[in-house]
Structure 1
Amino acid sequence: MLKNEIFFLGLLAAVISGLLLLILLYLVIRKWLEDRERRKINECIETLSPLIFAYITEGEASRHFQLEGKIKKKAAEEVLTKLAANLTGEEETGKLREFADRNLRNYFQRQLKSRRWSTRMNALYTIEDLHFIELQPQVLEAAKRERISHDEKVQSLRILAAFQFEGIPDLLLYHSENLSDGELRNIILRLNENLFSHFIADFHRAKNPLKYAVVDAAGIRKELKYLHFIESVYASYDGEPRLRAVKALSSLGMVKDITPYLDLRHSEDWKERMMAAKLFGSLKEPELMPYLLDLLHDRSWWVRSQAGQSIMMFPRGKEELQIVLDTSDDSYARDMAWEWMNKGEFG
């Protein structure tokens, strides 16, 4: 009985050792193949770089532009990506895209349909880097695909926004499930003024994450033409959209009339009181200083901190904080005044 167990354990150990050896052998061979492929790509890059550069800058064609095989096409992709990051002229950029369209269109189309997620994502990033607008139909197809990873969906929409695709408003209204407001904001900020205006016109139809992204984007753009829209959101909505509107107004640094926003300092929601302090600081109107000093005594640390920061944005902000430090009976307010007066002087 014992001999049988020992034999079985020995056999099991031999099998496991054999499997581990096979795995090790597989990894060694795979690494060797990858290194060999990388060397070939690097050799092609050295050959293709001056030829592609000459074509893009001088329009010189060459018989060496016969890019057969995966190695040469991968090398050309890397050369074009590096060039795209450094080219600024419209003529050179146009020639780069012309070269890519002529030589690599089919290559990228196959990559977009690859079974490997990494290959598809790499193709999307390269299409964005090259501003390969000729592949917009394929990118649109990917964006609408039901079975697609989250990262692919986001990247496809980013590309379409960068290409100023006219159908992007409908895509985001009806095909942006599970995208966060941050991801949507990043996409929307790539749009020109005309496309962005569609989101303002259809704001009431958007779901909450898209609403938040549109209001945020209006504030980040810092253009006074969006003031009416942002104030209308504040007046018409409660909760998060209203908070985002106040934050956007703080970015603009302007309101038509401060009166509708004064009651925020008495809100039961600490986030609204904090946004009130932020808005008052961005406006820098002297009559708002007493309200900020009141908010410096708020029960919420976040509100006190924002009030202190906003007070420091005024020309005499430091002097006002010194008065609080010298006269206030509220130790929390004094601590916050001291913190903002000395911010940056330590550590």
Structure 2
Amino acid sequence: MTGVVWLSYGVVAAFIVLVLIMLYVSIDTKNYQKRQQQIKRDVQEHTAACYRYFIEGDDDSCVIANTNEEFEAIEEIVESYIAYVEDEAILTRIYQYMDTYYSATYRRQLRGNDTTKRINALYQIMDFHIISLLPEVKEMLLKKHITLKECFIGLKIVATLEEESTYKFYVHHKSKLAANQVTMIVNCMTDDRIYDIVDHEHTDIEWLVAALKVMAKRQLAYSSLVVHELLHHDVQIVRDEALQVLSAIGTEKSLMDFEEYFYSEDVESRMLFAKLASQYKLEDVSAYLVVLAQDKSFLVRQAAIHAIAQYPKGQEMFERMLETIDDAYMHDSIHTYLKGGHEHVALD
């Protein structure tokens, strides 16, 4: 009988706990919704004044947040400007405003024990260019025990706000960074700094490769002579990335100088050759591209077909290939490309 009584007590206690949890969730949800509604009202209230202050330069319209909700509303307004405004003078005004009035808030978050808040503060420091907190970010990067996320964002901040010192902090953490993270860090730097890395800093392969990737992405042509020299680098990945750059910016060298890539057993090399071929006249590369369009690798076939499609007579060449070449894989690749991306094919 006693066991039944205790079981009853347990059921009642569990029910009470469940009710309390549901009550807490309900209250918390209502508070969250109320807070979000207040932020929305603050955004609507301050949008016009922020426009006058940031865009028109009216100092009398400067809004300074007095509550947490107003602060988040200001963040939301500022983020919308940063996403679309390209005028450097306006962006500088926004950055100075955020640094002047809210750096203390981000400093408290950065020094706190809440990892989520620290990471959020780092993102805002980076997006809002809060340069007064750069020393604190550097201090954080010199610590032994920081999360990978904090390390990665911190390095992007340094690359954005003081790119000359980035390499020193990168070396401190390079063992824990993935290749794509290194590229993203380097991508925060200016064109001039990318040129400096490609021109002078060849000893760190990961650093050099990242700079070459960014150079190809931005189609930076100033260091093309050095890029040509890197085609003879001892490390294969450097040679490949140098060729990627030339595929993006062009080269005055004959395509025959790159035939080793055409004949290579490596799929990536043949892909690179197909990409580079699009920088030359169609009559000079058509024979190469026809062969690569029949390659055993789908990726190489795709690269060759995409290269052909860049030419005004690409559609005409596709038609001839379909009529005269009996290769089912090539036919499938051409039809797949035309079905999914025929708008990219230039027509006469």
TM-score, length basis structure 2: 0.81
Tell me what 1:140 maps to. 138
Q: 1:322 aligns with which of 295, 315, 319?
A: 319
Whether 2:284 is the aligned partner of 1:287: answer yes
- Is the 2:205–2:238 Cα contact (8 Å) retained in structure 1? no
- 1:295-334 mapped onto 2 (5 Å cutoff): 295-334=292-331
Q: 2:247 aligns with which of 243, 246, 250?
A: 250
User: Hey, what's the Cα distance between the residues in 2 that align with 1:311 and 1:51?
Assistant: 53
Structure 1 residues 191, 20: CA separation in 2 closer, same or farther (over 3 Å shift)? Answer: same
Unaligned 5+ segments in structure 1 are none
- Is the 2:267–2:300 Cα contact (8 Å) retained in structure 1? yes
User: Hey, what's the Cα distance between the residues in 1 that align with 2:340 and 2:53?
Assistant: 55
Tell me what 2:194 maps to. 196
User: Hey, what's the Cα distance between the residues in 2 that align with 1:295 and 1:337?
Assistant: 12
Q: CA deviation at 1:86?
A: 6.3
Tell me what 2:4 maps to. 6
- 1:221-260 mapped onto 2 (5 Å cutoff): 221-260=218-257
Tell me what 2:118 maps to. 120
Q: 1:267 aligns with which of 248, 264, 268?
A: 264
User: Hey, what's the Cα distance between the residues in 1 that align with 2:175 and 2:61?
Assistant: 46
Q: CA deviation at 1:148?
A: 2.5
Structure 1 residues 343, 82: CA separation in 2 closer, same or farther (over 3 Å shift)? Answer: closer
Structure 1 residues 201, 313: CA separation in 2 closer, same or farther (over 3 Å shift)? Answer: closer
Structure 1 residues 79, 312: CA separation in 2 closer, same or farther (over 3 Å shift)? Answer: closer
Tell me what 1:176 maps to. 174
- Is the 2:247–2:276 Cα contact (8 Å) retained in structure 1? yes
Q: 2:157 aligns with which of 147, 156, 159?
A: 159
Whether 2:204 is the aligned partner of 1:206: answer yes
CA RMSD in angstroms comes to 3.4
Q: CA deviation at 1:249?
A: 1.8
Q: CA deviation at 1:273?
A: 1.5
Whether 2:58 is the aligned partner of 1:58: answer yes
User: Hey, what's the Cα distance between the residues in 2 that align with 1:323 and 1:337?
Assistant: 12
User: Hey, what's the Cα distance between the residues in 2 that align with 1:30 and 1:99?
Assistant: 33
Amino acid corresponding to residue 119 of structure 2 in structure 1: M
User: Hey, what's the Cα distance between the residues in 2 that align with 1:313 and 1:86?
Assistant: 30
Tell me what 2:183 maps to. 185
Per the alignment, in what secondary structure is the counterpart of residue 202 of structure 2? Answer: helix
Q: 2:103 aligns with which of 92, 102, 105?
A: 105
User: Hey, what's the Cα distance between the residues in 1 that align with 2:310 and 2:44?
Assistant: 55
Structure 1 residues 300, 27: CA separation in 2 closer, same or farther (over 3 Å shift)? Answer: same
User: Hey, what's the Cα distance between the residues in 2 that align with 1:80 and 1:329?
Assistant: 59
- Is the 2:47–2:77 Cα contact (8 Å) retained in structure 1? yes
Per the alignment, in what secondary structure is the counterpart of residue 204 of structure 1? Answer: coil
Q: CA deviation at 1:201?
A: 4.4
The alignment-based identity, stated in percent, is: 23
Q: CA deviation at 1:261?
A: 1.2
Q: CA deviation at 1:167?
A: 0.3
Amino acid corresponding to residue 314 of structure 1 in structure 2: Y
Structure 1 residues 322, 89: CA separation in 2 closer, same or farther (over 3 Å shift)? Answer: closer
Count of residues paired in the alignment: 341
Unaligned 5+ segments in structure 2 are 344-348
Q: CA deviation at 1:109?
A: 0.6
Q: CA deviation at 1:52?
A: 6.0
Structure 1 residues 44, 279: CA separation in 2 closer, same or farther (over 3 Å shift)? Answer: closer
Structure 1 residues 197, 92: CA separation in 2 closer, same or farther (over 3 Å shift)? Answer: closer
Moved more, 115-124 or 79-88: 79-88
Amino acid corresponding to residue 188 of structure 2 in structure 1: R
Q: CA deviation at 1:103?
A: 2.9
User: Hey, what's the Cα distance between the residues in 2 that align with 1:335 and 1:80?
Assistant: 49
Q: CA deviation at 1:324?
A: 2.7
Structure 1 residues 21, 59: CA separation in 2 closer, same or farther (over 3 Å shift)? Answer: same
